[in-house]
Amino acid sequence: MAFVFSLQRILEMLPPDVESVGDFSGDIVGIASLSSAKAGDLSFLGNHKYHSQVETSNASVVLLPKDYDGEPSEGQIYLKVENPSFSLAMICREIERLLMPAPEPGAHPSAVIHPEAKVSPEATIGPLCVVEAGATVEAAVLESQVHVGRHAKISAGTYLFPRVVVGNYCEIGERNRLLPGCVIGSDGYGYEFVENAHQRVPQVGRVVTAADVDVGANSTIDRARFGSTYIGQGTKIDNQVQIAHNVRVGKHCLLVAQVGISGSTEIGDGVVIGGQAGVAGHLQIGDGAMIAGGAAIVKSVEAGTKMRGSPATEMALHNRIIVLQRKLPELFKRFDQLEKSIESREQE
Amino acid sequence: MAFVFSLQRILEMLPPDVESVGDFSGDIVGIASLSSAKAGDLSFLGNHKYHSQVETSNASVVLLPKDYDGEPSEGQIYLKVENPSFSLAMICREIERLLMPAPEPGAHPSAVIHPEAKVSPEATIGPLCVVEAGATVEAAVLESQVHVGRHAKISAGTYLFPRVVVGNYCEIGERNRLLPGCVIGSDGYGYEFVENAHQRVPQVGRVVTAADVDVGANSTIDRARFGSTYIGQGTKIDNQVQIAHNVRVGKHCLLVAQVGISGSTEIGDGVVIGGQAGVAGHLQIGDGAMIAGGAAIVKSVEAGTKMRGSPATEMALHNRIIVLQRKLPELFKRFDQLEKSIESREQE
Amino acid sequence: MAFVFSLQRILEMLPPDVESVGDFSGDIVGIASLSSAKAGDLSFLGNHKYHSQVETSNASVVLLPKDYDGEPSEGQIYLKVENPSFSLAMICREIERLLMPAPEPGAHPSAVIHPEAKVSPEATIGPLCVVEAGATVEAAVLESQVHVGRHAKISAGTYLFPRVVVGNYCEIGERNRLLPGCVIGSDGYGYEFVENAHQRVPQVGRVVTAADVDVGANSTIDRARFGSTYIGQGTKIDNQVQIAHNVRVGKHCLLVAQVGISGSTEIGDGVVIGGQAGVAGHLQIGDGAMIAGGAAIVKSVEAGTKMRGSPATEMALHNRIIVLQRKLPELFKRFDQLEKSIESREQE
């Protein structure tokens, strides 16, 4: 994964108010963490936890927050910026363009495109993709082995990684990134127990994603029973997340890996849900709520509330309960002693 | 997703004892929830939670339970049935037939079918499917990019959605629905630690599913170490469920999303396991047991028992514990006060 | 899944110090559990739990531990070995070779191999696989519908099951087994909230696996933000496991199904993590730590420690807490009584 950037080139990618301290005259040929960086590498302080590693880092170039007050060593340069992590992202964007350039438009001869599909001449349809009848593909990239179902729509600027499935009638918004193996528009899980068997409830709705949505590898989003399962603008979904039928997720939410959202639940804007958390069905999660990893949400949550635990309670109470649970052995002992001392006094 | 149904057509799909109240003369062109329905839409009351929304709904046609006693507004019709949710399912079955008709029999020229595979002329083998040597495909549908391994069998009436994998020697029963990306017959997870390394235990068994089984998107069912991992008739498995080697699941069970069942566990008939619950290995779960979402089952469960918590206990006890846990801060305070008051009295 | 082994053939697969008790003269034609075995089957006692089933088993041949002291019935043979489960594995290895022979080298005509890819003549590239520009495939098997990204490397002896994705620049070590649907090298989940939106942090690193790694069906391992996400030698990963960017996993670890490891966490050698457990980001898990199924690890863990619970504590403490939690109803009652009795005495 080779690249070579001059210091000058790096500076052009950073905000204009960058402050340089120290001196480095070679090329930057790698990016590494503070502790593993070697000469020629660029590194950064993005998490306070690693603060003490800056001083001993062998990185030639280090991105630091404005208020960092140490001194670089000989031949090393510190670049102070508002947000080192985001500045690094800007640099990585350039590296990504070099290392993983977007493929050229056009359809690979091995792709199976139905004559009734509408595919933009600006679209890339990679090897062994399937685009079914009535589907629309705007100026998007289908990398390889992707399936786009009947009457589905893939909007401009969207990138479908290998083996993504977009089901019939689903609509993917602009600039989405659907990671390998995710499934958009599988049947919702709906049955009625009639005549001693679970009778399938046909799921005739779809999935709609707004602009700038990311969906992680092997995540699944079910089509609605009717109407739409909906993912709002700018929401980012991690790997192996499960979103059931008729769920609505608001704007700019973060759903971390292995989260599960049950049917018909509505999630507001700016909600953050930690890894492996689960949300029961038919609930409302208010704007800006923060749900800790592993939490089990069984009641609706007010806007701005922080929740933790299984079943979840307000985070402050839950944290208190955790501390006290660990004191239970002591409490039981104290209680036994107290009972005994009272008993013995009564017998006096 | 356009369709147009006359009221007459809708009535034909409902049970004969339907009661009509009110009047509507137009066409039904959509299905929507009570709160989002517009004129021309059909809606339904399927969950008591939404009872109050019936009165203000703009739906032209509303499916209601027999005992609903409100009155429709002008130009609106109420259709009272035993089970509104199931009646809606009957209507959606018709819509599904219109919108997502089953593909025609025959093999797509891009499919790779081994000359030693036996494929029924009534089967549909969609684009870019692979059917390996010795496999049997009856009158089933393989939608696209499906993999059917050597000597595997796909029975009549079964529908394999895009990118399903059925491993070597596995048998899929009649009328199964395998949703996109699910994997039937991956190797079981078995190792022996010998000579300082985990030595793989070859998994030479298979997976067998009975009739009317559904498996959700990206779910995984491992082949047995030997013999069969077995899924019983009418059992419905949601997305991202993991079933380990040698598990036996009975008839008419529901396994909700992200459930995990460890190796060699036996699950009875009619068991319901809520989302994200986990069941340890080598256990027996009795008929009709209900396991709450997120529960961790570490001991066998008697038939008909309701379990909750991690590790799980009987649901009534668990619910009591949850209430008392939230009173722990108060209990510790009361205890401190009591100790102090007793101490001070002793010093008197 | 037919095979026929003579007793002589079975004995050749077992360690030389095997002890035979009893007599069986037919062929072995199946393997089954103690309780379901019939005449002609081989069975084994691998878990003490099933000890009592040996006596009543109809298996013709039973693998038993050296210290088992019962007697076989007429026409039945006991074979006593150090490790019956591992001895069975040796037999199953032979069965696997018979039933699922490795495919012949060569590329299927339907595979799409970029002219700039380097593919060994000893490699098997199955139907509908994609091998992108700059990729290297040594003497490995790509079964079918596999995707190998640009500049990725698949080392000798590695087996990629159907529909595996290996992303750009990732390196898969020797003798790995990647099960169906797993995704190696999806983008890490990294965003910076800038200008009221989650801005994607490009992930320009890769995934590197050492030798003898197994990855389960539909598991996902994210590429590093920069540098490498790393899986150490001999580590075995079960189905639906999620490993985030920049994680390092040591040698000979076991990660059971549905485990999630958050970004930048380092896991030592010989660590065992039970199903559905989660580990937060930026932590250190020491060598030989054992983490129970369903545990939530939110702090670093010392080497050799056993952890359980959510959030996890040391296992002994956690087990004690679980017992006491179940006594909370009783404790609250006792406390109420004590308070009352003290009050009443004070009023005397």
Kindly report the CATH number that applies to the domain delimited by B5-99: 3.40.1390.10
A340 Cβ under 8 Å from any chain C Cβ: no
Is the Cβ pair C325, A328 closer than 8 Å?
yes
pLDDT band at A1 (very low <50, low <70, confident <90, very high): low
* Cα C317 off chain centre by: 28
d(CA A28, CA A4): 6
Q: What is the pLDDT of residue A5?
A: 94
Q: Residue B115: CB partners within 8 Å, gap ≥ 6?
A: B133
* Residues forming beta bridges with residue B291, ordered by sequence position: B273, B307
d(CA C240, CA B163): 16
Residue A11: strand, helix, or coil: helix
Q: Residue A274: CB partners within 8 Å, gap ≥ 6?
A: A256, A259, A291, A292, A293, A294, A295
Handedness of CA B105, B108, B111, B113 (dihedral sign): positive
Is pTM, for the whole model, over 0.90? yes
* Cα C107 off chain centre by: 30
Is the Cβ pair C112, A127 closer than 8 Å?
yes
Q: What is the pLDDT of residue B1?
A: 58
Q: What is the pLDDT of residue A104?
A: 94
pLDDT band at B276 (very low <50, low <70, confident <90, very high): very high
For residues B173 and B209, is the Cβ–Cβ distance under 8 A? yes
* Residues forming beta bridges with residue A255, ordered by sequence position: A237, A273
Q: Pull the structure tokens for residue B181.
A: 């990306």
Cβ-Cβ contacts under 8 Å, B320 against chain C = 328-329
**Alpha-carbon Rg of chain A, whole angstroms?**
27
Lowest mean pLDDT segment, chosen from A39-53, A259-273, C234-248, C292-306: A39-53
Half-sphere exposure of A272 (CA within 13 A, CB side): 13
Q: What are the residue ranges spanned by the domains of chain B?
A: 5-99, 106-191+198-265
Give how far C252 is from chain A: nearest CA, Å: 24
Q: Of B177, A124, A217, A207, which Cα lies nearest the Cα of C185? A: A217
Is the Cβ pair A227, B31 closer than 8 Å?
yes
Half-sphere exposure of C121 (CA within 13 A, CB side): 0
Q: What is the pLDDT of residue B47?
A: 87
Q: Of B189, B241, B233, which Cα lies nearest the Cα of B215? A: B241
* Residues forming beta bridges with residue B193, ordered by sequence position: B198
For residues A67 and A51, is the Cβ–Cβ distance under 8 A? no
> What average pLDDT does range C281-308 have in this prediction?
98
Condensed to tens digits (0 to 9), the pLDDT of residues C37-83 reads 999 999 999 888 899 999 999 999 999 999 999 999 999 999 999 99
For chain B, the chains sharing at least 3 beta-carbon pairs closer than 8 angstroms are: A, C
d(CA C6, CA A346): 80
Please provide residue B197's backbone torsions phi and psi, each rounded to the nearest 5 degrees.
-155, 155
Catalytic residue among A198, A245, A282, A318: A245
| Residue C103 pLDDT greater than 80, yes or no | yes
Residue A97: strand, helix, or coil: helix
- CA-to-CA dists, residue C99 to A91, B114, C177, angstroms: 52, 17, 18
Please state, rounded to an integer, the average pLDDT across all residues of chain C. 95
What's A41's DSSP letter? E
DSSP string, B78-128: EEEES-HHHHHHHHHHHHHHHHSPPPPSEE-TT-EE-TT-EE-TT-EE-TT
Residue A319: strand, helix, or coil: helix
| Residue A339 pLDDT greater than 70, yes or no | yes
| Residue A3 pLDDT greater than 90, yes or no | no
Give how far C41 is from chain B: nearest CA, Å: 11
Residues recorded for chain B: 348
> What average pLDDT does range C98-106 have in this prediction?
93
Please provide residue B48's backbone torsions phi and psi, each rounded to the nearest 5 degrees.
-50, -30
Residue C244: strand, helix, or coil: coil
Q: Of the CATH numbers 3.40.50.10190, 2.60.40.1220, 2.160.10.10, 3.40.50.720, which one belongs to the domain with range B106-191+198-265?
A: 2.160.10.10
pLDDT band at A84 (very low <50, low <70, confident <90, very high): very high
Lowest mean pLDDT segment, chosen from A330-334, B64-68, C137-141: A330-334
Please state, rounded to an integer, the average pLDDT across all residues of chain A. 95
Is the Cβ pair C276, A276 closer than 8 Å?
yes
Q: What is the pLDDT of residue A348?
A: 62
Q: Pull the structure tokens for residue A81.
A: 């910026």
pLDDT band at B249 (very low <50, low <70, confident <90, very high): very high
For residues A257 and A276, is the Cβ–Cβ distance under 8 A? yes
C100 Cβ under 8 Å from any chain A Cβ: no
| ipTM of the modeled complex | 0.96
| Residue C335 pLDDT greater than 90, yes or no | no
pLDDT band at C340 (very low <50, low <70, confident <90, very high): confident
**For residue B93, which amino acid is it?**
R
* Cα C219 off chain centre by: 11
Lowest mean pLDDT segment, chosen from A78-92, B5-19, B328-342: B328-342
For residues A172 and A153, is the Cβ–Cβ distance under 8 A? yes
Nearest-5° Cα angle at B176, B240 to B273: 40
Q: Of C134, C126, C128, C135, which Cα lies nearest the Cα of C112? A: C128
Give how far B222 is from chain A: nearest CA, Å: 18
A222 Cβ under 8 Å from any chain B Cβ: yes
d(CA B156, CA B172): 9
The pairing of beta strand C248-249 with beta strand C266-267: parallel
Q: What is the pLDDT of residue B158?
A: 98
For residues C222 and A180, is the Cβ–Cβ distance under 8 A? no
Please provide residue B64's backbone torsions phi and psi, each rounded to the nearest 5 degrees.
-135, 160
Best to test chain A binding among C108, C150, C166, C183 (most A CBs inside 10 Å): C183
Q: What is the pLDDT of residue A228?
A: 96
Residue A231: strand, helix, or coil: strand
> What average pLDDT does range A20-32 have in this prediction?
93
**Is there a shared CATH topology between the B5-99 domain and the B106-191+198-265 domain?**
no
Is the Cβ pair B189, C108 closer than 8 Å?
no
d(CA A277, CA A263): 15
- Fold annotation for A106-320: UDP N-Acetylglucosamine Acyltransferase; domain 1 (2.160.10)
Please provide residue B10's backbone torsions phi and psi, each rounded to the nearest 5 degrees.
-60, -45
Using CB atoms within 10 Å of the CB of residue B267, give its burial: 0 to 12 exposed, 13 to 18 middle, 19+ buried.
buried
Please list the alpha-helical segments (H only) found in chain B: 7-13, 84-99, 315-325, 328-347
Q: Of B244, B299, B228, B308, which Cα lies nearest the Cα of B272? A: B308
d(CA B310, CA B318): 10
B102 Cβ under 8 Å from any chain C Cβ: no
Please provide residue B47's backbone torsions phi and psi, each rounded to the nearest 5 degrees.
-135, 120
